[in-house]
Structure formats: C-alpha cells, structure tokens
Amino acid sequence: MPHKVISLISVGRHPQSGRSRRADQDSRAVELGLKLAGTDLDVVHAGNAEEPVLRQYAGMGLQKVTVLEQTETADAIPALSSYLKAEKADIVLTGVRSESGESSGMTPYLLAEQLGWPIVARVADIVEIKDGEAQVLLALPRGQRRQVTVKLPFIASIDNAAQAARQSAFGPGLRAKMDTQTGSTEEDNVRVNWSEAPAKARPKRLKVVKAKTAADRFKAATAKPQGGLGKVMKNESAQEKAQAIFDLLIEEKVIR
Amino acid sequence: MSDIIRRDPRAEWIMRNRLHPLHEQYASQEEGGEVRGPSGLIRKFPHKVGFIGPNGIKRIDRLKGNATAPKGKRSAAAQEVQLPLHKVDSPDYYIMMVADMVGGRLTGHDKDILGLAHKLIVEQGGNGAVVAVCFGEVKEDNFDTAGVDRVLHIEGEAFEGYAPEARVQALTKVEAQYSVKHWLFPDSIHGGCDLASRLAARLGERPATQAWQVNAEQSVSRGASASLDITRQTPKILMLLEECADAIDETRHEATPMFLDDVSVAAATIKDKGLIAVDPNAIPMAEAEFILSAGNGIHNWDQFHEASKVLGATEGASRVAVDDGFMPRSRQVGATGTWVTARVYVAVGISGAIQHMQGIGQVDKVVAINTDAGCDMVKRAALSVIGDSEEILAELMKLVAEHKQTSLSDQAEENSNAA
Ligand SMILES: Cc1cc2nc3c(=O)[nH]c(=O)nc-3n(C[C@H](O)[C@H](O)[C@H](O)COP(=O)(O)OP(=O)(O)OC[C@H]3O[C@@H](n4cnc5c(N)ncnc54)[C@H](O)[C@@H]3O)c2cc1C
C-alpha cells in the first residue's frame, strides 16, 4: 500500500531582494515528498489561493496544490491539523522555519502535539519505509548524520542538508490546479499586541578588557601565548606519547 | 599583625608638600633624622641612604620620599583572586536554562544565556536562582564561575544520545516540581531549539524564538528570516540567539546540585540508531569537528593521509605544505585560508606562525606534535608531544587500529549474546 505523504508549503522570502519566492526548506520538503510518493504527493498551503508563489511550487511537477483558504492573520494550525486528520496522512513534511511571518518554526511541533504524532526535526533524508516504520537521517551540526527509526504516522521538518529542490517549470506551474477548501477563521489574537519593525543591525560585541591596572591592560594588549598551561611530553617513549594523544581523542569522543 | 599595608594618605600628602608646616617632621622621621657635623653643616651618612628592597637588593629612593606608593615591604606574591560568592538561599523562583553542553561542556552560547538569566533576576527582583539543566555526560568543572546557582543534572540511559522525547518529558516534570519563572534555551542547532519547541508545544506556551534583546518586560526577536524585529511581552519560554547578553565574569556561584524526583519516562517512538559514518573530507573544513593538520614537519605524506583516514579526521594544512604542493589550497588553515572551529585540532609539524594561529583561534583543544619544544604551537596546545612526527603518527595509528578491532569484536560479542 503506498503511503500518504503530504508536504506543507509556505511563501518564502528572498534573502537579498525580499521578494516572495519558493521557500528553500519547503521546496526541499516537496522534493523529498516527490521522491517518496511520486505524483501522489499532496502539497498543502494554508493561506491565499491567488498567491503566485504557489505556481512556482506547482512547477516542480505537481498536478494540483491544495489550498486551505484563509486570511493572512488567521491561525494555520487548526485548519492544517483537521486536514491532516481527515486525509489520514502517514508522513507530513515541512520546513524547519518559515521565511516569512514569525518564523518561529513551531508549526510542525504544534501539529505533532495536536495529532499526538512523533516529530523528527532537521531531517536530511528518509531512506526507506518498511513495516510501518521509517528510517530517517537527521542532519547534525558539523556535517554529521544520525540515523533514527520512527513509526508512521509522523511529522518531519526538513533541513537545508536535504536534497536541493528541482527547477520549477513555468508553464506546468500555470496549468496546475488549485484545489481550494475553506481554512480556519480563528484569528491569531496574541500577535495583535506585537509591534513589528524592520530588523536593526545587531551591535557587534566588543572585546572589553576588564583590567584593574595599566600594567594588566598593557599585558592584555601585547601578551604572546603563555606556556605552562598545556601538558608537554618530552622524554617519554613514542608509544607513551601516542597513548596520551589517543586518550585525549577518546576523551573528546572524536574517535569512536 | 596582618600582612596588609595601610596607607596613610594624610602622611603621604604632607610628604609631598614641602611647604606644609609638618613636612620637616615627617620627612626626618622617614629618613632617620637630620645629622649636623661639628661645623654645623648637614652631613649625609652615605651608608644609611636607601633601604633593602623586596629581593634583598639595596634600593635608593631618589624621590626623597616623595613617591606616593606605600612604604615598607611588599605584600606576598599576587594571590589568585577569589571572586565574590553570590549566594541564593531558598529561592522563591527558578530560571531554568537548558544548556546545549556540546561535548559535555557549557558553550559560549550557554554562558551568554546564563548571564541573561541573572540580568532577568536583577530586573524582576525577588530571590531567584539560575538553574543549569543538563542531560547526558557532563564534563564541565566551571559551573560556579559561569553563573550557575543550581545544577539539575538529569541522568539515566533514557536521556543519552538522541532522546528529545524523553528529555521533554523530564522537563515537563521539572515544570511541575519547581516554580519556574522562565525557560531559557539556546536557539541553536545543537538541540536547544528542538527541545524548546517541543516543550513549548507540550506546555501550550507561545515561545519567543530567535530572541536577542530581552528584559523583564519586553523581548525583541527576529522573524521573517531575520528581516523583522518583533517586540512583545517577554514570554515564559525563550529561545535566545548568541550574544544576547554578556556572560558572568565577576562573581562565583554555588552550583549546588538539584534533583528531579521522578525520572521515569514512557518508551520512545523515535529510536536512535547512532551516528552514521560520513566521509570526513566531505565536511566543509570550517565546520569539521576533528582536524588533523600537516605542516612543514611532515615528510611522509602517504603516511599522513593514511593517518587521517584511520583517525577519521578532516585534513588540514599549513601554508607551507600547500605552497610546496603537498596539499590542495582548499585545505589551508589560517589567515589566508579557512578559519576553523574544530573541537580538536592536531597540528603535526606546524610551528604556529601567527597567520596560522589566527585560523585556529576558535579551536577548543589543540594537540601539537613537533620536534621543537619552544615553538608557539606548543605554547597554545593543551597537549604537546615532542618527537618525530612519523614515529608518533605510526604509533597512534597502531593504537587506533587496535581500538577499532576491540570495539568491533565487542559488538560482535554483543550481537551473538543477543541472538
Ligand atoms: C601574508 C601571509 C599570510 C599567511 N597566511 C597563512 C595562512 O593562512 N596559513 C598558514 O598556515 N600560514 C600562513 N602564512 C605563512 C606563515 O607565516 C608560516 O610561514 C607558515 O604557517 C609556517 O608553516 P609551518 O608551520 O608548516 O612550517 P615551519 O614554520 O617550517 O614549521 C615546521 C615545524 O615542524 C617541525 N618539524 C620539523 N620536522 C619535524 C618532524 N620530523 N617531526 C615533527 N615536527 C617537525 C619544526 O620544529 C617546526 O616547528 C602566511 C604568511 C604571510 C606572509
């Protein structure tokens, strides 16, 4: 039985020009969805059905895009969670953080909490799905990967380390069908009280030398690396020296 | 009598002021009085001039007592300064700071957030304590100077490795057991952001993410891929960016342990299958965790490449090794190469020129293998071995190969036991 895969998409923002575009992580989620489910992939957006960016997603080879029609200020979570429940999704793919709006990255977590499903964050790839369990590769810092298995159904947020999205074709994007349904009307009441402004540049942290005397300040400004802090092994045998290095590498867990 | 020398500012002032009516009196007290010869002339006794300095050498004070420094013997050698201890007895509320603890130690990011936690307590008033919540292995020994009043170390096999579900269950129990005012998390890729989002969803709190300017009333956080500043009331759960506040550096804290009564957790639905071996040379060098770097002291390059493969380290090089054509330009570490952030950096036959040192400024642990015990790399290193690189690399490879053998056979044994 093929699995029901749903990718959630949002409107992205180009980092330099600020124009709306396909969001990077979301389009990677669509790409991964296409790998898992082919054309059976269901792509869902909660928001405005007239949004031209949706056509860019559709240009990745989608027959249709499901839009849960709602206003910009409405909360997307109730609409999405009832849709996912109704559709009996097995795997839901999202980005880690949206590129517009609050960018809190809470959507997958809130959906998981409401549906009672597990969530795996920062997924680089879904390797295989077998016996109701998926083998998932997580992207860790410093280019490392971790393998986990998780039971279906689950939600995965897709990291930038996942396979890059394919190009979007303009014509097929225009021809794709927009399947609109009514979304939620619940307004986001907390956000009304926030004030928003274009981001200010963050001040650079200065290196402040907290020295009590002029001599200390002088030393802080001119000091060369001081010896005596580290351990120096001179007269031991080569084997003992290698052992010391080895012990340090084991202790720091860089050798496994 | 105490060792402390007390200054008498009035006496010093009189000593400086030659027109003061009491100046004569004070000055002669200092010099042992004036001596007049038989003809009434003032005589100086040359052997009485000066005093014996702190290391036994005679010193002559040519300022004639006009120096303002206190007289007498110097106090004992500069002691290590004991920072004042900040104590919190029976706190009314706690600020929980869930640390990333990369490699078992507080990161710079964690320390900034601890600084922020203390700032929040000062602004809010009341008797609050800052708690560092940590999971897994802890190797940190400087909790006290980082500003940690209490340490809540949640131990157990369920929390080791990748266990966000177990961890968030433990955190909800902490929330139930203690009166928590704020939850502070580093908004980092080391798991802080993930855990914070899970906790926020579980508790039904709306967190501030990517917050960078926080006080007791208001917090400013970034939105819309860092193009928007959102100002709002400070929520209970905060995910903070780096450099959100200054780390604690002027006080010492108790860092007394705290305990969670109930650490049982439900079975995890996400099962950790461990880390996957990745090609270390495919990792961008600026991100690599473990670098084996070669300099002019490498003569056997085949052996070096083999060593990096055996150790599973990313390769780096000094400029000389690159200029001589032994390594590609993309592997150069330093001012004109890559600035690395590795946790462990093994410098083999690298002297430590300043241009190279700039590139490894952010490295935690440097290991130097060098024939010259006086070079700058040895001064920077946490561990230096003095000897020929070829010999030591050969021994090291032998040890690692043995280690891999035994761990493999251990695994095989476990598997056969399980079967
Ligand atoms: C503008 C400018 C930019 C530069 N940028 C960079 C840069 O980005 N990165 C960089 O690395 N350099 C840079 N340099 C060059 C830098 O100044 C040094 O020349 C260079 O780093 C030295 O490389 P090294 O330590 O490998 O060689 P050396 O200084 O020759 O040191 C070799 C070391 O190996 C030891 N040794 C010798 N034989 C053995 C043995 N058998 N076993 C063990 N140890 C042995 C020696 O004791 C010595 O300490 C720059 C220079 C300039 C002028």
| Chain B interface includes A197 (CB < 8 A) | yes
- Reply yes or no on whether the pLDDT at B145 is more than 90: no
Alpha helices, H only, A88-212: 107-115, 170-175
Sign, Cα dihedral of B53, B55, B57, B63: negative
Confidence of residue B197 (pLDDT cuts 50, 70, 90): very high
Average pLDDT over residues B207-215: 88
Per-residue tokens: B289: 């965790």
Q: How many structural domains compose chain A?
A: 1
Give the CATH number, domain containing residue A66: 3.40.50.620
CB contacts, 8 Å: A233 with chain B: 383-386
Classify residue B157 as exposed, middle or buried by CB count within 10 Å of its CB (0-12, 13-18, 19+). Answer: exposed
Instruction: Note the pLDDT tens digit of each residue in A162-196.
Output: 888 899 999 989 998 888 888 777 777 777 778 88
Do the domain assignments include residue A210? Answer: no
Report residue B147: phi and psi, to 5°. 95, 30
B276 pLDDT tier (thresholds 50, 70, 90): confident
The three-point CA angle A107-A111-A115 to 5° equals 175
Q: B264 pLDDT exceeds 70?
A: yes
Mean pLDDT over all residues of chain A? Answer: 85
Q: Which one-letter DSSP state was computed for residue B338?
A: B
Residue B62's pLDDT band (boundaries 50, 70, 90)?
A: confident
ipTM of the prediction: 0.84
* Residue A31 covered by a domain: yes
- Mean predicted confidence (pLDDT) in B61-89: 64
Confidence at residue A229, expressed as pLDDT on a 0 to 100 scale: 67
Question: Which residues of chain B does CATH 3.40.50.1220 include?
Answer: 280-401
Residue A103 confidence (pLDDT)? 85
Residue A203's Cα: distance from chain center in Å?
A: 27
Report the side by side order of strands in the sheet with B228-233. A195-198, B228-233, B218-223, B208-214, B237-240, B180-186, B93-98, B128-135, B150-154, B256-258
Distance from Cα B294 to the centre of ligand 1, integer Å:
9
* pLDDT mean over B283-288: 84
Provide, as residue numbers in chain B, all residues whose Cβ is less than 8 Å from the Cβ of A223: none
CA distances from A71 to A84, B81, B184 (A): 20, 61, 33
pLDDT at B154 over 60: yes
At B110-135, the pLDDT tens digits run 999 999 999 988 888 888 888 998 88
Whose C-alpha lies nearest to ligand 1, atom 45?
B297
pLDDT at B67: 61
Q: What is the pLDDT of residues B6-45, one digit of tens each?
A: 888 898 888 888 788 888 777 777 665 566 677 878 777 6
Q: Is residue A254 part of a domain?
A: no
What pLDDT sits at residue B332? 92
Q: Average pLDDT in the B66-89 region?
A: 63
Could you tell me the residue range of the domain that residue A106 belongs to? 5-193
Cα B240 to its chain centre, rounded Å, is 19
Whether B341 contacts B316, CB under 8 Å: no
**What are φ and ψ of residue B224, in 5° steps?**
45, 65
CB-based contact (8 Å) between A146 and chain B?
yes
Pairing of strands B252-253, A119-130: unpaired
Q: Which residue of B has its CA nearest to A190?
A: B206
Long-range contacts of A231-238 (CB under 8 A, 24+ apart): A231/B382, A231/B383, A231/B384, A232/B373, A232/B378, A232/B384, A232/B385, A232/B386, A233/B383, A233/B384, A233/B385, A233/B386, A234/B373, A234/B386, A236/B385, A238/B387, A238/B388, A238/B391, A238/B392, A238/B395
- The segment(s) of chain B belonging to CATH 3.40.50.620 are 85-258
Bridge partners, B58 (sequence order): B52
In a domain, A199, yes or no: no
**Residue A36 domain-assigned?**
yes
> Sorting pLDDT into bands at 50, 70 and 90, what band is B73?
very low
Interval B325-340 mean pLDDT: 90
N-to-C CA span, chain A: 40
How far apart CA B209 and CA B196 sit, in angstroms, is: 9
State the CATH class of domain B85-258: alpha beta
Q: Is B377 left (phi over 0), alpha (psi -120 to 50) or beta?
A: alpha
Report CA-CA distances (Å) from B294 to B255, B305, B379, B391: 41, 10, 18, 15
Cis amide leading into B9 (omega within 30): no
Across the range B77-94, mean pLDDT stands at 77
Size of interface A-B (CB pairs under 8 A): 229
Taking residues B66-93, report their average pLDDT. Answer: 67
pLDDT band at B75 (very low <50, low <70, confident <90, very high): very low
> Taking a C-beta distance cutoff of 8 angstroms, is the pair A139, A123 a contact?
yes
Residue segments in chain A with a per-residue pLDDT below the cut of 50: none
Q: Considering the domain B280-401, what is its CATH architecture? A: 3-Layer(aba) Sandwich (3.40)
Q: Determine the pLDDT at residue B70.
A: 53
The pair of structure tokens assigned to A68 is 């849960």
Return the beta strands (E) in chain A as ranges: 5-8, 11-13, 20-22, 42-47, 64-69, 91-95, 119-130, 133-139, 145-151, 154-158, 177-182, 195-198, 231-233
B170: CB partners within 8 A, 6+ apart = B135, B154, B159, B260, B263, B265
Q: Do A233 and B228 touch (CB under 8 A)?
A: no
Residue position matching structure tokens 């390797």: A127
pTM here?
0.73
Residue-wise pLDDT for B376-397, tens only, equals: 888 888 888 998 888 899 989 9
CA–CA distance, B205 with B191 (Å, rounded to integer): 19
Domain assignment of residue A45, yes or no = yes
pLDDT of residue B76: 46
Q: How confident is the model at residue B416 (pLDDT cuts 50, 70, 90)?
A: low
CA B374 to centroid of ligand 1, rounded, Å: 14
Round the average pLDDT of chain B to a whole number and report it: 83
Contact B396 A246 (CB under 8 A): yes
Report residue B57 as tokens: 């050498």
Residues 6+ apart with CB under 8 A from A44: A6, A7, A8, A9, A65, A66, A67, A68, A80, A83
- Residue B90, pLDDT score: 84
Find the CB nearest B275 among A104, A112, A144. A144
At residue A188, the pLDDT reads 76
Tokens 């071995």: give the residue.
Answer: B385
Q: Does a structural domain hold residue A217?
A: no
Residue A224 lies in a domain: no
Task: Specify the pLDDT at position B206.
Answer: 87
User: Residue range B57-69: average pLDDT?
Assistant: 69
